Chain A
Amino acid sequence: MKNNKDLSPSCMFCQPRKNSIFSNLSDEELELMNMHKSCAIYRKGQYIFNENGFPQALYCINNGKVKLNTIGIDGKEQILRLAKSGDVIGYRSLLSNERYHCSAVALEDSSICVIDKNFFLQSVNNNQKLLFEIIKKLSSDLKTAEEHIVSLSQKNVRERMAEALLFFKATFGFAEDGQTLNVVLSREEIADYVGTSTESAIRLLSEFNQDKIIQLEGKKIKIINLPKLIKTANLND
């Protein structure tokens, strides 16, 4: 880390700040923040803070890119988030007064402002607008994390089976009872549509049967809970 007071950007004229949690601060508040921060250049690969360390400051990226990572139980690195110019990092641990749950590493040479912990916490206490911006930031990060979880797990084979049954219903329709699919497909054919093994297709159909989504009658499939099938397919916009 290289401290560079001369090159330290003033908060008043900082362009990235305008898109950050500090966008609504008054000139007086910015002046005050300027007095309670320093700026440092972090070289590519350099740690800004370490997992399990105690938070001492809030980090605001003036220029550059940072990755927030942790080491999984298998010893592999897991990147949690990427941060860019205008983003703040380390605020969650600061607010919850916990050790860092991840490390921050510069992905490229980055100019980062380090804001004094006590000043930041005091500002949050005294400034409702700043508090609201932090809540917005936390909510946005939570949404991104949740979307990531969904994207990793959404394409499970159960969804695909439900989707296949909906396609069969749309293509072949129901028999006169209004529930039985108007087509008889072998388990191999169904597995082919779902993109899984025949064994998995048999197991999944059996699960759907137990969950009372469908009713199996030999090779015939009766859809007895269409709303649940649609929900399982996770095809809502």
Chain B
Amino acid sequence: MCLHAQSANDLIQFLMKVVYPSVQYHFLEVVWKGNFLPEEKSNGVDHILSDLKSEFNSLYTYETKLVFPAVLRTFDKNIQYRVTNTPDIYELVDLTRRKENRMRTLIDELKKHVLPESEKNQSIEKLIDSFETEFFPAKEDWNDMINNRLSTCSCFKKAIKSQPSESNNEFNS
């Protein structure tokens, strides 16, 4: 294992055991706090929350099943793994970052539409707060760590198949 594997693993554990459960808890709390006001429902707050939850669950699935194992596998110096199956970490991180940006947009949208007189308002505000104070900062740390390793860690460098510019060009073309 690369020396950096432990710090990556620690961050993954923090995301999986602290950050994601906290966000999931706040999603549940929104559901428990009763129905939406008619204004909120027709104004799309329920749709925004549904999209946000769907996006979050989707990111959770991809990270737990594909991204986190791929990152840890890349740190692993067992050559057999890398010869048979080399994940494109640049592209994976880029895909998850784009999903996070989508969530940021939905959070901004949510902030605009939540009406102050709503009984659910408090629980929705807590959800927004958990995204802004826990989820996004932790994801920034994760993305910074990956970017840092991509440029400095020899294990990553050896495992990279394509250059970052190639991955980005695919999306921006």
Task: Report the nearest B residue to A148, measured CB to CB.
Answer: B44
B87 adjacent to A170 (CB under 8 Å): yes
In the complex, which residues of chain B have a beta carbon less than 8 angstroms from the beta carbon of A155? 51, 54-55
Q: Which residue of A152, A171, A230 contacts B170 across the interface (Cβ within 8 Å)? A: A230
0 or 1 for each of B36-75: is its CB under 8 Å from A? (1 = yes): 0011001110011001001101100110011100100000
B47 adjacent to A167 (CB under 8 Å): no
B106 at the interface (CB under 8 A from A): yes
Binds B, one of A72-80, A110-118, A201-209: A72-80
**A172–B62 Cα gap in the complex (Å)?**
13
A126 at the interface (CB under 8 A from B): no
A193 adjacent to B65 (CB under 8 Å): yes
**A170–B44 Cα gap in the complex (Å)?**
34
In the complex, which residues of chain A have a beta carbon less than 8 angstroms from the beta carbon of B172? 236
A170 adjacent to B88 (CB under 8 Å): yes
- How many residues does chain B have at the interface if contact means C-beta atoms less than 8 Å apart? 39
Q: Which residue of A79, A107, A235 contacts B42 across the interface (Cβ within 8 Å)? A: A79
Given A172-B85, A173-B161, A227-B173, A163-B106 contact (CB < 8 Å): no
- Chain A nearest CB from B115 CB (Å) reads 8
Query: Total contacts A to B, CB within 8 angstroms?
Result: 87
A173 adjacent to B85 (CB under 8 Å): yes
A198 at the interface (CB under 8 A from B): no
A222 at the interface (CB under 8 A from B): no
Task: Report the nearest B residue to A76, measured CB to CB.
Answer: B42
- Chain A nearest CB from B54 CB (Å) reads 6
0 or 1 for each of A145-166: is its CB under 8 Å from B? (1 = yes): 0011001101100001001001
Given A171-B92, A236-B172, A151-B66 contact (CB < 8 Å): no
In the complex, which residues of chain B have a beta carbon less than 8 angstroms from the beta carbon of A236? 98, 171-172
B39 adjacent to A154 (CB under 8 Å): no
In the complex, which residues of chain A have a beta carbon less than 8 angstroms from the beta carbon of B61? 192-193, 195
- Chain A nearest CB from B108 CB (Å) reads 10
B92 adjacent to A152 (CB under 8 Å): no
**A189–B40 Cα gap in the complex (Å)?**
36
- Chain B nearest CB from A231 CB (Å) reads 10
- Chain A nearest CB from B129 CB (Å) reads 21
**A73–B115 Cα gap in the complex (Å)?**
25
Interface residue ranges of B125-173 to A (CB < 8 Å):
161, 170-173
In the complex, which residues of chain B have a beta carbon less than 8 angstroms from the beta carbon of A173? 85-88, 161
Task: Report the nearest A residue to B66, measured CB to CB.
Answer: A171
B57 adjacent to A195 (CB under 8 Å): yes
B54 adjacent to A172 (CB under 8 Å): no
A182 at the interface (CB under 8 A from B): yes
B87 adjacent to A172 (CB under 8 Å): yes
A226 at the interface (CB under 8 A from B): yes
Write the residues of chain B forming the contact surface with A, with a CB cutoff of 8 angstroms: 38-39, 42-44, 47-48, 51, 54-55, 57-58, 61-62, 65-67, 70, 85-88, 91-92, 95, 98-99, 101-102, 105-106, 109, 113, 115, 161, 170-173
Besides the contacts A77-B42, A235-B102, what 11 more A-B pairs have beta carbons closer than 8 Å?
Answer: A67-B39, A82-B43, A107-B115, A154-B51, A166-B95, A167-B66, A170-B88, A170-B91, A170-B95, A171-B66, A195-B54
Write the residues of chain A forming the contact surface with B, with a CB cutoff of 8 angstroms: 67, 69, 76-79, 82, 107, 147-148, 151-152, 154-155, 160, 163, 166-173, 182, 192-193, 195, 226-227, 230, 235-237
